[in-house]
Structure 1
Amino acid sequence: MEKYLAVDIGASSGRIFEAVLINKKIELKEIYRFDEYLKYEENTYFWDIEKIYGSIMSGLKKYFKENRQEDLSIGIDTWGVDFILLDSNDKILGRPVSYRDSRTNGMMEKVFGILAKEKIYEKTGIQFMEFNTLFQLYSLKLKDKSLLEKAETFLMIPDYLNYLLTGKKINEITNVSTTQMMNYKTGFWDDEILKITGFEKIKNTKLGKAGDIVGNISSEVQKELGIKRLNVILPGTHDTASAIAAVPHLEKEGTAAYISSGTWSLMGIESDYIISEKSYELNFTNEASVIEKKSRFLKNIMGLWLIQRVKKEYNDEFSFSEIVKLAKEEKEFISLINPNNERFLNPESMKDAICDYCIETNQKAPENIGQFGKLIFYSLAFLYAKTLKELEELSGLKIKGLNIIGGGSQNEYLNQLTSDAAEISVIAGPVEATVLGNVTMQAYAKGGIKSIEEGRKIIRDSSGLKKYRPEKNLKELYSNFLKLC
């Protein structure tokens, strides 16, 4: 029996899990949860990094007070793009600003005036989002250059937390790839892009890869936790990289695609890097995989954010299961939207945005939450089907199955609609994919498993997966959807 600790921190909440690997199965137990660390002061959204680290330490203190076992390991994953700057005395410079902040507004166009958009994509393979680290740093160069001049160290959020635990500075590549400053061919920072930011000291910090052992916790942390050994190991520190490491049916390249389903739906394949005029045009991204020299070739899709917002506008009167039930009962309502239309990114009212879209496209606007639910679930399923065809076209592969992982994999109605729309077998689960992928990389680093493929088999055997096969012919409705794209 082997035990591991996994810290999974999202943009809204963080959790610490104990994982037990026994008899080729993984058992998970949540041991601590924390939230409310995104702050807004003086017109700036920023992360309360002291609260995040303090919460991790509080959870570990609680755990080790009840469990005196030594020689465990721990891995931390978080969201991407955001970072910490340290001065020559290793003190934080400024605030760790959130990607949700508006400081990057208009920065992309300024950067493209220095280096062509197509050239940046050719070098990095990363899709363009205004909050990418490249544009955050360029914003600092224009608005607070003195801060960059004082900076000696750049650490991404999980890497800074690892530094606090160990005193060692390493940036892990799956997260570094999200900066849009890593050259995919070299696996290192791109000099031409770094010159744009004016912060070439970023290269001074070592780069590591998933599965690397950072080292034991520092003597100060040992004293605070009352233990002598806790090895810090790099999982895929980008949470999506960890989630995809846990996709149970990716052993053979090209046989399966995945959807990491939550607020956003991240849909793609694990493959060689795919960088072409067509992938650029369709806004696909190539983020680094936990498997060296492989890409998480994927597309961001506006996911369950749509129904989450509608649910909130109904004052949370309905549970998600009730919304699904009411959606199923709406037999006659067939209006559709393109979920990736920019108007749905963060409207004042999601209900109004959807209704206006329907009216503008000569469709009936939804009138109750069941109709909103049906419209959203059908539209997402059709967008998944469209994206699947794009994946096949761009990769030249015949995809035979689709894995849906994460919290959204619990929506059986959407899973079945996806199978129907894409005319493909769907496997749903595991729900806690990110944590399981985090643990898989720790087990691999410590020799508990011999390969990622073995880890995926263990996850498959440990999880209550559910399979869906096409039941309905939705071709006519799908044709109507394509007219909206």
Structure 2
Amino acid sequence: MKTHYLACDLGAESGRLMLGTLAEGRLELTEIRRFPNVPVRDGDALYWNLRALLDELAAGLDQAGALGLPVAGISTDSWGVDYVLYDAAGAMIEPTYHYRDGRTARGVQAVQARISWPELFEETGLQFLPFNTIFQLGAESPGRLARARRILGVGDAFNHWLGGAARYEESLASTTQLYNPRTRAWSPRLIEALGLRAELFPPIVPSGTRLGPLRADLARASGLRGVEVVASCSHDTGAAVAAVPGAGEDWAYLSSGTWSLMGVELPAPVIHAAVREANFTNEIGYGGSVRFLKNIIGLWMVQECRRAWARQGQEYDYATLTRLAAEAPPFAALVNPADPRFIPPGDMPGRIAEYCRQTGQPAPATPGAVIRCVLESLALLYRRTLRQIEALTGRRIARLHIVGGGSQNHLLNQFTANALQIPVITGPVEATAAGNVLVQAIALGQLPSLAAAREVVRASFPLTTVTPADTAVWEAADARFAALLAASR
């Protein structure tokens, strides 16, 4: 028997409505609608156009209904940290700010004036990122906060719009730095320290919670009847990790996209000074597992380079950029992708050149050289991060699973295997949508467990093993990279 699900997967560059069909232990994913996610620049402010995204989702529901298939469930996943405020009438208070909006620096100062960073980490186990929800709320205007009656993460806001109860799903709540992973609840201490009202924060629910039926008007308009709204893993990385086809405990994952999130699954949070100093994080995954990981800037640098060149009239697709990088000389220059200068949007090729000049290296002069510099540097940062994971958890990692859109970059996959000197297993590409659907299937009783869901992944999607090579060359490059990082401290 076939069971159909809908997954709304919202990313920083685009959104999709996917149809997931589960039958005889296999999952098939079909894209119904893809739409751009273009933030709005208004003077110095940067925010999301949520109205446009909701309109696109409504159009996607109409397309899904036109297929005439019985759909059991629907769920939304999104990036973390950003949030939607609602007024007393239940209407969204606009705008919904983008995590790269410049106000976050002001929020960091405001929060750290009330509570120290060591205390904040001890309470939340979350790594420092200047755009964590707590810092964004620290930058909020008193007027907006006075009007607000409820806060929801973006994915949960979309589930609420679909008709589900207003709930903060645990994986998304754990990205706010207002959640305590030990108590598995909002932190009253932090909410009080920021002068926020406790009633602003809705109940936290576990991944795989049924939220209620699809809104009646949406059901009528689309013809989708009997659809249950489910909070699967509302955080896209949580959904992606649920679809990692790993088994045992000797594997790590890398969810590769705009951000690279590298980590392991643990039964409990790891919160101590060494973790804080290494800037690791404890986020929550399906079943209350802990995603012990580090956020790494990822392919954002490549995306911003591509946009910068497009503004200059040079259009490159990702395949062309990867080919040019493969043809460029190896290890001509390296950068530290974690350097804060690479976080904001803007002239990324210029910033890379500036970094190289400041560190006594030749600035890459062609698009291929720039992208090769980024990819090699990312792979070396992955190596450093994996060694930190092993040291902090006591686990020896034997293989790395790379999932998500970035797993299609075969050059970066090979660089990663070379840098780590362990096998890299790539796939599924659509891990986030797959995880979204499979958690729905567990919630609605079609699958018994996460282990069963991962068996479905192994049976459904092509997986490729990348074998490490060039050990001596990458060992030498790692020594250069370590010296570069040491010199910049």
- Fold-level match, TM-score > 0.5? yes
CA–CA distance in 1 between the matches of 2:439 and 2:347?
41
Which of 279, 299, 306 does residue 311 from structure 1 map onto? 306
How many Å apart are 1:317 and its aligned residue? 4.0
How many pairs align?
478
Which of 404, 407, 414 does residue 406 from structure 1 map onto? 404
Is the CA contact (8 Å cut-off) linking 1:94 and 1:147 kept in structure 2? Answer: no
State the match for 2:281 in structure 1. Answer: 285
CA–CA distance in 1 between the matches of 2:373 and 2:423?
22
Q: Does 1:257 pair with 2:252?
A: yes
Which of 445, 448, 452 does residue 454 from structure 1 map onto? 452
State the match for 1:207 in structure 2. Answer: 204
CA–CA distance in 2 between the matches of 1:63 and 1:311?
33
- Structure 1 residues 290 and 179: alpha-carbon distance in aligned structure 2, compared to 1, 3 A threshold: same
1:179 is paired with a residue whose SS is coil
State the match for 1:239 in structure 2. Answer: 236
Is the CA contact (8 Å cut-off) linking 1:154 and 1:202 kept in structure 2? Answer: no
> Aligned runs of 1:266-345 on 2, under 5 Å?
266-271=261-266, 272-292=268-288, 294-315=289-310, 316-331=314-329, 334-345=332-343
1:326 maps to a residue whose letter is L
CA–CA distance in 2 between the matches of 1:35 and 1:238?
19
State the match for 1:15 in structure 2. Answer: 16
CA–CA distance in 2 between the matches of 1:355 and 1:300?
24
* Deviating more after overlay: 420-429 vs 214-223: 214-223
State the match for 2:113 in structure 1. Answer: 113
Is the CA contact (8 Å cut-off) linking 2:9 and 2:433 kept in structure 1? Answer: yes
- Structure 1 residues 434 and 204: alpha-carbon distance in aligned structure 2, compared to 1, 3 A threshold: closer
* Deviating more after overlay: 312-321 vs 450-459: 312-321
How many Å apart are 1:361 and its aligned residue? 2.2
- Structure 1 residues 348 and 34: alpha-carbon distance in aligned structure 2, compared to 1, 3 A threshold: closer
CA–CA distance in 2 between the matches of 1:123 and 1:484?
33
State the match for 2:85 in structure 1. Answer: 85
Is the CA contact (8 Å cut-off) linking 1:311 and 1:317 kept in structure 2? Answer: yes
Is the CA contact (8 Å cut-off) linking 2:191 and 2:198 kept in structure 1? Answer: no
Is the CA contact (8 Å cut-off) linking 1:443 and 1:449 kept in structure 2? Answer: yes
TM-score under structure 2 normalisation?
A: 0.93
CA–CA distance in 2 between the matches of 1:184 and 1:74?
27
CA–CA distance in 2 between the matches of 1:372 and 1:265?
19
State the match for 1:44 in structure 2. Answer: 45
CA–CA distance in 2 between the matches of 1:86 and 1:94?
9
Deviations 1:221-270 (A, max 9, x none): 33333343110111110111111111111x323x1111111122111111
How many Å apart are 1:475 and its aligned residue? 1.0
How many Å apart are 1:41 and its aligned residue? 3.3
Q: Does 1:363 pair with 2:361?
A: yes
Deviations 1:415-437 (A, max 9, x none): 11111111111001111110001
1:484 is paired with a residue whose SS is helix
Is the CA contact (8 Å cut-off) linking 1:6 and 1:76 kept in structure 2? Answer: yes
How many Å apart are 1:285 and its aligned residue? 1.1
How many Å apart are 1:477 and its aligned residue? 1.6
How many Å apart are 1:331 and its aligned residue? 4.2
How many Å apart are 1:34 and its aligned residue? 1.9
- Structure 1 residues 162 and 313: alpha-carbon distance in aligned structure 2, compared to 1, 3 A threshold: closer
CA–CA distance in 2 between the matches of 1:413 and 1:260?
16
- Structure 1 residues 168 and 313: alpha-carbon distance in aligned structure 2, compared to 1, 3 A threshold: closer
State the match for 1:226 in structure 2. Answer: 223
How many Å apart are 1:210 and its aligned residue? 0.9
Q: Which runs of 5+ in 2 are unaligned?
A: none
2:284 maps to a residue whose letter is A
> Aligned runs of 1:80-159 on 2, under 5 Å?
80-140=80-140, 144-159=141-156
- Structure 1 residues 336 and 26: alpha-carbon distance in aligned structure 2, compared to 1, 3 A threshold: same
CA–CA distance in 2 between the matches of 1:325 and 1:49?
35
Q: Which runs of 5+ in 1 are unaligned?
A: none
Is the CA contact (8 Å cut-off) linking 2:170 and 2:204 kept in structure 1? Answer: yes
State the match for 2:480 in structure 1. Answer: 480
- Structure 1 residues 229 and 289: alpha-carbon distance in aligned structure 2, compared to 1, 3 A threshold: same
How many Å apart are 1:43 and its aligned residue? 4.2
- Structure 1 residues 147 and 24: alpha-carbon distance in aligned structure 2, compared to 1, 3 A threshold: same
CA–CA distance in 2 between the matches of 1:359 and 1:147?
44
Is the CA contact (8 Å cut-off) linking 1:401 and 1:426 kept in structure 2? Answer: yes
State the match for 2:351 in structure 1. Answer: 353
Identity of aligned residues (%): 36
How many Å apart are 1:327 and its aligned residue? 2.8
Is the CA contact (8 Å cut-off) linking 2:12 and 2:258 kept in structure 1? Answer: no
2:132 maps to a residue whose letter is N
CA–CA distance in 1 between the matches of 2:385 and 2:372?
20
2:217 is paired with a residue whose SS is helix
CA–CA distance in 1 between the matches of 2:445 and 2:375?
42
1:166 maps to a residue whose letter is G
- Structure 1 residues 317 and 56: alpha-carbon distance in aligned structure 2, compared to 1, 3 A threshold: closer
Is the CA contact (8 Å cut-off) linking 2:156 and 2:167 kept in structure 1? Answer: yes
CA RMSD of aligned residues (A): 1.9
How many Å apart are 1:481 and its aligned residue? 1.1
Is the CA contact (8 Å cut-off) linking 2:356 and 2:363 kept in structure 1? Answer: yes
State the match for 2:59 in structure 1. Answer: 58
Deviations 1:129-151 (A, max 9, x none): 222211222222xxx32332332
Deviations 1:271-310 (A, max 9, x none): 1311111111111111111221x21111111212222333
1:397 is paired with a residue whose SS is coil
1:61 maps to a residue whose letter is D
Is the CA contact (8 Å cut-off) linking 2:74 and 2:228 kept in structure 1? Answer: yes
2:466 maps to a residue whose letter is Y
> Aligned runs of 1:414-453 on 2, under 5 Å?
414-453=412-451
CA–CA distance in 1 between the matches of 2:199 and 2:91?
16
CA–CA distance in 2 between the matches of 1:116 and 1:81?
20
1:126 maps to a residue whose letter is L
* Deviating more after overlay: 195-204 vs 390-399: 195-204
